[in-house]
Amino acid sequence: MNVLKFGGTSVGTVESLSNVKRIVESLPADTIVVVSALGGLTDKLIATASLAAEGGDWAPEYEKMAARHFQIIDTLVVEDKKETTSEVVNSLLLDLRRTYEAVALLGDIPPRTLDQIVSFGERMSAPIVAGIIRDAKLHNSLDFIKTEKWFDKNIADAALSHDLIVKEFSGKCGGPHVTGGFIAQDRDSGQITNLGRGGSDYTAALIAAALDADMLDIWTDVDGFMTADPRIIKDAVVLPEMSFVESMELCSFGAKVIYPPTIYPVFHKNIPIRILNTFNPGASGTFISDSSDCDAFPVKGVTAVRNTCLVHLYGNITENVAKINTRAYNAMARNGISVFLLSQPGENHEFAFAISSADMQRTNKVLNEEFAPELIDGSLSSISTTSGMSTVAVVGEGLKNIKGVKGRIVHTLQRKSIDILASSEGSNDTALSFVVDEKDTVEAIAAIHGLFF
Ligand code: ADP
Ligand code: ASP
Ligand code: MG
Q: Per-residue pLDDT tens for 91-145?
A: 999 999 999 999 999 999 999 999 999 999 999 999 999 999 999 999 999 999 9
Per-residue pLDDT of the chain (453 residues; tens, 9 = 90+): 999 999 999 999 999 999 999 999 999 999 999 999 999 999 999 999 999 999 999 999 999 999 999 999 999 999 999 999 999 999 999 999 999 999 999 999 999 999 999 999 999 999 999 999 999 999 999 999 999 999 889 999 999 999 999 999 988 778 899 999 999 999 999 999 999 999 999 999 999 999 999 999 999 999 999 999 999 999 999 999 999 999 999 999 999 999 999 999 999 999 999 999 999 999 999 999 999 888 899 999 999 999 999 999 888 766 677 788 889 989 999 998 988 887 876 666 677 889 999 999 999 999 999 999 999 988 889 999 999 999 999 999 999 999 999 999 999 999 999 999 999 987 778 999 999 999 999 999 999 999 999
Among left, alpha and beta (phi > 0; psi -120 to 50; other), residue 366 is alpha
d(CA 81, CA 290) in angstroms, rounded, equals 42
d(CA 172, CA 36) in angstroms, rounded, equals 23
Tell me which residue has its CA closest to atom 8 in ligand 2: 198
Residue 351's contacts (CB-CB under 8 Å, 6 or more residues apart) are: 312, 313, 317, 321, 324, 325, 328, 343, 345
d(CA 357, CA 360) in angstroms, rounded, equals 5
Question: Both ends of the chain: CA-CA distance in Å?
Answer: 36
Give residue 349's pLDDT. Answer: 65
Q: Is 220 in the pocket of ligand 1 (CB under 6 A)?
A: yes
Q: Counting atoms of ligand 1 from 1, which one is nearest the CA of 10?
A: 3
Q: Counting atoms of ligand 1 from 1, which one is nearest the CA of 8?
A: 2
Beta bridge partners of 147: 156, 186
Distances, alpha carbon 145 to alpha carbons 41, 140, 190, 225, 326, in Å: 21, 9, 11, 27, 34
Residue 442's contacts (CB-CB under 8 Å, 6 or more residues apart) are: 232
Tell me which residue has its CA closest to atom 9 in ligand 2: 197
Give residue 91's pLDDT. Answer: 98
Q: Which ligand is nearest to the CA of 275?
A: 1
Largest CA distance in the chain: 76
* Three-state DSSP state, 78: coil
Give residue 318's pLDDT. Answer: 63
Pocket test of ligand 2: the residue of 42, 45, 128, 256 to mutate, having most ligand atoms within 8 Å of its CB, is 42
Nearest Cα neighbor of 122 from 69, 61, 167 is: 69
Rounded to the nearest angstrom, the distance between the alpha carbon of 221 and the centre of ligand 2 is 14
d(CA 366, CA 229) in angstroms, rounded, equals 34
Rounded to the nearest angstrom, the distance between the alpha carbon of 122 and the centre of ligand 2 is 8
Give residue 350's pLDDT. Answer: 73
Residues 162/265, Cβ–Cβ less than 8 Å = no
Give residue 317's pLDDT. Answer: 66
Buried b / exposed e across 267-291, counting CB within 10 Å, b at 16+? Answer: beeebbbbbbbbeeeeeebbbbbee
Q: Which ligand is nearest to the CA of 37?
A: 2
Residue 83's contacts (CB-CB under 8 Å, 6 or more residues apart) are: none
Q: Is 356 in the pocket of ligand 1 (CB under 6 A)?
A: no
Tell me which residue has its CA closest to atom 20 in ligand 1: 229
Tell me which residue has its CA closest to atom 10 in ligand 1: 257
Tell me which residue has its CA closest to atom 27 in ligand 1: 229
Q: Is 234 in the pocket of ligand 1 (CB under 6 A)?
A: no
Q: Is 45 in the pocket of ligand 1 (CB under 6 A)?
A: no
Note the pTM of the prediction, 2 decimals. Answer: 0.96
Q: Which ligand is nearest to the CA of 204?
A: 2
Q: Is 121 in the pocket of ligand 1 (CB under 6 A)?
A: no
- Strands 177-180 and 215-220, bridge-based pairing: unpaired
- The angle subtended at Cα 371 by Cα 369 and Cα 374, nearest 5°, is 135
DSSP 92-155: HHHHHHHHHHHHHHHTS--HHHHHHHHHHHHHHHHHHHHHHSTT-EEE-GGGT-EEEEETTEEE
Beta bridge partners of 3: 32, 216
* Three-state DSSP state, 343: strand
Pocket test of ligand 1: the residue of 229, 274, 279, 445 to mutate, having most ligand atoms within 8 Å of its CB, is 229
- Distance between alpha carbon 57 and the CA centroid of its chain, in Å? 32
Give residue 425's pLDDT. Answer: 85
**Residues, CB within 5 angstroms of ligand 3 (ion):** 7, 198
Q: Is 221 in the pocket of ligand 1 (CB under 6 A)?
A: yes
Q: Which ligand is nearest to the CA of 255?
A: 1
Give residue 325's pLDDT. Answer: 83
Tell me which residue has its CA closest to atom 15 in ligand 1: 229
d(CA 256, CA 198) in angstroms, rounded, equals 8
Give residue 227's pLDDT. Answer: 98
d(CA 50, CA 447) in angstroms, rounded, equals 39
Q: Counting atoms of ligand 2 from 1, which one is nearest the CA of 122?
A: 1
Q: Which ligand is nearest to the CA of 181?
A: 2
Site residues for ligand 2, CB cut-off 6 Å:
7-8, 36-37, 42, 121, 181-182, 197-200
Residue 400 main-chain phi, psi, to 5 deg:
-65, -20
Query: Residue 360 has what DSSP assignment?
Result: H
Helix and strand tally (H, E) in the chain? 14, 18
Length of the chain: 453
Q: Is 244 in the pocket of ligand 1 (CB under 6 A)?
A: no
